[in-house]
Amino acid sequence: MDNNEHEHVIEVTDLRRVYGGGFEAVRGISFHVDRGEVFALLGTNGAGKTSTVEVLEGLARPASGRVRVLGHDPYEERSAVRPWTGVMLQEGGFPSELTVAETARMWAGCVSRARPPEEALELVGLERRADVRVKQLSGGERRRLDLALAVLGRPEVLFLDEPTTGLDAEGRHDTWELVRALRDGGTTVLLTTHYLEEAEDLADRLAIMREGRIAATGTPAEVTAAQPSRISFRLPDGYFLGDLPPLGELGVTGHEVDGRVVRLRTRELQRAATGLLVWAERAGIELRNLDVRSASLEEAFLGIAREKEKEEVAA
């Protein structure tokens, strides 16, 4: 199979997934992931991320819609897709009596084009734990083992469901480095995560799901651009809000005053910050505790979650 012919390594069109009792967990979503991209699927608990990823992994059939991985239907043509994909589920569930090295060797026997098991363990920093039984590993070490097994077959497409949950800060950064290295080597990665800084740092593009639908999608910068930036500072004694230049002219769309602390919201950060600083400079004022910040992905995420709450209150 010439896998290079499919630029969209993953294609999802109007995907719906309905569970046995009739509950519609995924309600018509579309997105694509190109070769060598890291794509993050974000969302609140129960938003439908795992339900979506399971369909892409070929573990479940869609109720309707079309899914293609490397140009194939991952459920109907599992044997054409499976050898090229690596999967890290939320729960690995490997036999706990085997050692780490035995587990890796056993798994290497099940995949085509396997790396040497020692190399996979080294990639995730488990080489010194090779002789430890799986049941004796810590939660974070088990996640590392799950990741080692997912990359053992040199996959072209890697599915990572919450890969860094339970890892300490160092483990998380190690995992990010590994994902970046795999991406740079041409691997396409689809990951779900609850850590917004992980998506901000790693993802080329992302989608935020809410109640089975995609509420926002784009690069991290595009998704955060929809949220206002913030400027805060301390007004010097003797000055009042009315002494500032007219806020509308600075491109400020909202403000709060808390004692002497002023917080401004704007979608034109450079214009607002420049106007404010020029005013302060001319007036010979020092704006103490000045903080100028673009919106973070976390703010965009919370904004989307709050839109939903507002809709519910209004209904």
Positions touching ligand ATP (CB under 6 A) are 19-21, 23, 25, 43, 45-51
Q: How many CA atoms lie within 13 A of 106 on its CB side?
A: 11
Strand partners, 18: 24
Q: Give me the least distance between CB of 65 and ligand ATP, in Å please.
A: 15
Nearest to 218 by CA among 226, 253, 100: 226
Question: Which is closer to ligand ATP, CB of 22 or CB of 109?
Answer: 22
Question: Which is closer to ligand ATP, CB of 36 or CB of 92?
Answer: 92
Q: If you search the block for the tokens 């400079």, which residue do you land on?
A: 281
d(CA 44, CA 107): 33
Question: Which is closer to ligand ATP, CB of 47 or CB of 247?
Answer: 47
Residues 6 or more apart whose CB falls under 8 angstroms from that of 195 comprise 164, 172
Q: Give me the least distance between CB of 192 and ligand ATP, in Å please.
A: 6
Question: Which is closer to ligand ATP, CB of 43 or CB of 220?
Answer: 43
Q: Give me the least distance between CB of 123 and ligand ATP, in Å please.
A: 26
Q: Give me the least distance between CB of 161 and ligand ATP, in Å please.
A: 8
Q: Give me the least distance between CB of 54 and ligand ATP, in Å please.
A: 8
Question: Which is closer to ligand ATP, CB of 47 or CB of 151?
Answer: 47
Distances in whole angstroms, Cα of residue 153 to Cα of each of 49, 58, 110, 187, 230 = 24, 17, 9, 12, 46
Q: Give me the least distance between CB of 9 and ligand ATP, in Å please.
A: 21
Question: Which is closer to ligand ATP, CB of 43 or CB of 303?
Answer: 43
Distances in whole angstroms, Cα of residue 156 to Cα of each of 2, 26, 34, 76, 206 = 12, 26, 11, 19, 19
Nearest to 281 by CA among 309, 238, 245: 245
